[in-house]
A and B are shown apart, each in its own frame.
Chain A
Amino acid sequence: MDLVILLAIQVLYAIASLALISVGLAIIFGMMRVINLAHGEFLMLGGYAAIVATSRGVNIWISMLVVAPVVVGIIGVIVERTIIRFLYGRMIDTMLATWGLSLFLVGLTTAIFGNTTVGISAPLGSFQIGAYRTSGYTLFVIGVAAVVLFGILVVLRGTRLGLIARGTMQNANMAAALGVNPPRVYAVTFGIGAALSGLAGAVLAPVSGVFPTIGVAYVAKSFITVIGGGAAILSGTVSASTLFGTINQLATFATTPVFGEVALLAAAIVLIRLLPQGITGRFFRRGL
């Protein structure tokens, strides 16, 4: 019984971390049809922002939950204004340019921070489930993911900003005719996507440590999640991370973490073969 609870928490954690690392990418992809290959580096920058802020004496919660998203969000807006905006509608060129950006950022952070892993210890200690102990931080990550997803739902469904964003997503020309400024919506959307990536990177930094090439570890998983989920931001992210997170964690539990990842990939390839438009291309079509 205890083992079942522990396993359930582990599965929930796998789902939550997948959803967290993917949601920023999903927003940028779902709304702007831009594949941001520098996504992993946005997560990495979030991790560095949190660690640098914490080492300068900022409270760890503030540096994780406020400093990291703000810093990476600003970087995101700068990137959108200097590179991405010239490439809308040229999907492959966007991929290539953001890949260049990814290399650029890896090189830059290597030169500044060196090629070593830095970390902050996870706060919140651990607690007991029967014969097992598990970290309280695990539950915190699950909580953050839930809050982020719920927050996106509320913003998209309930606010004027969300309405404008959804309208622009559906038809940018019509939105422009109605007085919305699509370039500004794009810049803000890209910034928000980047900020959420920064938040995810910072929240996961105590678990995985931070080093300049850590983006590589994130980027594959988040892409597979977003593509498996399809274009709908929320239902896509949630459904795909639930599916892949469960498969990943159960395979990890049965074998090793590496085979967990391989199982995730294999599942993703089969899924895309069966549902080329992703899960939300066939199911939950009316979802966000």
Chain B
Amino acid sequence: MTDRTLNYLGLALVGIVGAAFLVLTPRFAELDVVLELTIYMIMAILALSLALIWGYGGILCFGQAAFFGLGAYTYAIAMFNIGESTMPLLLAIALPAVFAALLGYFMFYGRISDVYLGVITLTVTLILFNSVNSTAGPEFRIGAARLGGFNGIPGIPPLNIPGNKAWVVDLEGMFYLATGALLATYFGLRWLLASRFGRIIVGIRENERRAELLGYDPRAYKLATFTIGGALAGFAGCLFANWGAFVSPTIFGLAQSAQIIIWVIVGGRGTLVGPIVGCIGIQWLTTALGANQPSGSDWWTKLLANAPFILGIILIAFVLLVPKGLVPTLGDWGQALLRARTRRPATGLKPKQAEEG
């Protein structure tokens, strides 16, 4: 089989599995399971936003939570002020995108290296957390929306069908919306990465100097990638605010930022399926740990139910032992197996991992 047919087969597989999941789940699962799955889908969109800018663009962004949180807060604030969800939804995508573009302009046109970039994005997230966290007083309001500080904003109105305020999206509708959005995001990114633009950003990731010598301006391409990632994260934030009808500053927190990075690391950089798998796996694990709060007060039982502790171990273990992530590593094993079976003569050329997934 050629790589091309494999590629189409993969795409078709994702499409079929996704469509089956979309149609069948609400029919057979309990409502609480559907609710749980919805949040996995939303977080997977967030994971994809980082998969694009880090996995393909090579931009290490520790602050993806900033765009996610900004999207959620923008939607909430706009919703209280406008009351019809079309504008708030668009704002929740546009505002994080503009913020990402401004921040990205400073970083990329300042020629800041990878590591500094990570630190700056992390710092921006933390400052946002501190700022929003301290807005508990009644004087902190934007129009009709009170920011609420560490208490967060409760009772956020749900999305409605554009133009019809009465027709709001219910819990099941939210599942369809989130799953559909995830599938659309996945296929959209596949298309983007297969386009000329996608080839160039991967080229820049592989060798920035060389891409520049070929006449591409890496700064502009990185800025565009970063902005698209910010917009996507903002969109996920908007869905998140819908899902719980609640946002609080923890959305900007270190734990949230760390999680997004961990999803991508665990699943595999340079793939799109990997971060989705990593996201759903880790989310499921975190929920399971949280649900099993032990009754005893032994400190070690508390430790095993402690999400940061477990996530920390997972992150260290993956960086040290499985740096490529699950999906590429499994892919390597699969290929080795295939090669052993067919005994194809080695060509000496390894297929490029980065452009699959």
Contact = CB atoms under 8 A, between A and B. Distances in A.
Interface in A251-270: 256, 258, 261-262, 265, 268-269
A98 to B, nearest CB: 9
Contacts of B134: 256, 258
A87 interface: yes
B182 to A, nearest CB: 25
Nearest to B132: A258
A100 B312 contact: yes
Contacts of B183: none
Interface in A208-230: 213, 216-217, 219-220, 223-224, 227
A269 B106 contact: yes
A174 to B, nearest CB: 24
Interface string A93-111: 1011101111111111011
Given A100-B319, A272-B112, A111 B309 contact: yes
Nearest to B300: A111
A273 B131 contact: no
Interface stretch (B19-27, B115-123, B218-226): B115-123
Sort chain A's interface into a size bin.
Answer: 35 or more
Nearest to A38: B312
B123 A224 contact: yes
B10 interface: no
B303 A95 contact: no
A19 B299 CA distance: 35
Contact of B127 (A92, A97, A261): A261
A11 to B, nearest CB: 21
B114 A103 contact: no
A149 interface: no
Nearest to B257: A99
A261 B113 CA distance: 24
A43 to B, nearest CB: 14
Nearest to A29: B115
B319 A104 contact: no
B211 interface: no
Given A96-B265, A97-B316, A97-B320, A223 B110 contact: no
Interface string A28-55: 0000000101000000000000000000
Contacts of B255: 103
Given A87-B319, A104-B316, A276 B120 contact: no
B98 interface: no
B112 A105 contact: no
Interface string B160-191: 00000000000000000000000000000000
Contact of B122 (A103, A223, A272): A223
Given A100-B313, A265-B124, A269-B120, A83 B320 contact: yes
A169 to B, nearest CB: 17
12 contacts: A87-B319, A95-B115, A99-B261, A106-B312, A111-B300, A261-B131, A262-B131, A265-B124, A265-B127, A269-B120, A272-B120, A276-B110
Interface of B: 60, 62, 106, 109-116, 118-120, 122-124, 126-127, 129-131, 134, 253-255, 258, 261, 265, 299-300, 302-303, 306-317, 319-320, 323
Interface of A: 35, 37, 83, 86-87, 91-93, 95-97, 99-108, 110-112, 213, 216-217, 219-220, 223-224, 227, 256, 258, 261-262, 265, 268-269, 272-274, 276
